[in-house]
Amino acid sequence: MTSAQTGVEPGRCLFVSDVHLDTVAGAAEAQFLALLRTEAPRVEALYILGDLFESWVGDDTPAHPAVIEALAALSASGVGCFVLHGNRDFLLGSGFAERTGCHLLPDPVVREFGGERVLLTHGDALCTDDHAYQELRTTVRDPAWQRRFLALPLATRELLANEARAGSRAHTSRTRPTIMDVNPGAVEAAFRATGARRIIHGHTHRPAVHDTQIDGRPAQRMVLGAWYEQGSCLSYEAGRYHLRALPR
């Protein structure tokens, strides 16, 4: 079948991040499911740059059946679905990938769009001023820690995840906002290490397009917003990017 017959527009991509879906289905879930039904089937690839879920305690969780089903339908229809881990859903694993047809990508990862190398990352690793968070990140990304956690009964993991979320809220409320934004030096280092001139990330919940210079050459950092009050997405088509809010 040609792309005209399937309705897929070649090269068109959609990026979202920080949908933060809760186990109790709410407005964000309804809006995200609508995006998966309407706009997402018309693109070649959907990139979810982390924190799709507010928490993920293991692939054996029965949570979010509608989202799992919708992602599976989208993948089955031929749309490439790519997922990065966020700081909330860093335990998404091969079971999730099998159930949804999504491909888990490492963070950071460089992909090509229209022949341009673009660095995709959740963004938390760039927030190097938040030392307490970076220490926690090192702990929970350790494979041995993850194996021990995943060996606990599901109910225990859910309890611990709720405690971690309360701890995270407390940390966020007492930490200065600038500390929780990306560190300019970390951003520059990421540009230089990869040779990319465009970074797309989420996590900071500060949707914006930042023009910058790296070694005298123009570069751009595109930040996706969170889905707490409204949706946020970035679309790519024929060399152009468009960041937009999705009102509810």
- Of 45-53, 58-66, 147-155, 218-226, which segment contacts Mn ion by CB under 5 A? 45-53
- Relative to beta strand 231-237, strand 217-223 is unpaired
232 binds Mn ion (CB under 5 A): no
Among the listed residues 176, 222, 230, the one whose alpha carbon sits nearest the alpha carbon of residue 32: 230
∠ Cα 29 32 35 (to 5°): 150
Gyration radius of the chain's alpha carbons: 18
Q: Which is nearer to Mn ion, 167 or 239 (CB)?
A: 167
The closest residue (CB) to Mn ion is 203
86 binds Mn ion (CB under 5 A): yes
CA 24 to chain centre: 20
Report H helices in 38-174. Answer: 65-76, 94-100, 131-140, 143-150, 154-174
Q: Which is nearer to Mn ion, 86 or 207 (CB)?
A: 86
- Of 83-91, 140-148, 169-177, 231-239, which segment contacts Mn ion by CB under 5 A? 83-91
Distance between CA 146 and CA 177 in Å, rounded?
29
Among 55, 87, 121, 204, binds Mn ion (CB under 5 A): 87
Q: Give least dist CB 176 to Mn ion, A.
A: 18
Strand order in the sheet with 109-113: 109-113, 116-121, 198-201, 217-223, 208-214
Taking a C-beta distance cutoff of 8 angstroms, is the pair 17, 50 a contact? Answer: yes
Which 123-182 positions form the footprint of Mn ion (CB under 5 A)?
A: none
Q: How many residues bind Mn ion (CB under 5 A)?
A: 4
- Of 62-70, 82-90, 136-144, 236-244, which segment contacts Mn ion by CB under 5 A? 82-90
- Of 79-87, 101-109, 111-119, 207-215, which segment contacts Mn ion by CB under 5 A? 79-87
Among 203, 219, 226, 233, binds Mn ion (CB under 5 A): 203
Question: Which residues lie near Mn ion (CB under 5 A)?
Answer: 51, 86-87, 203
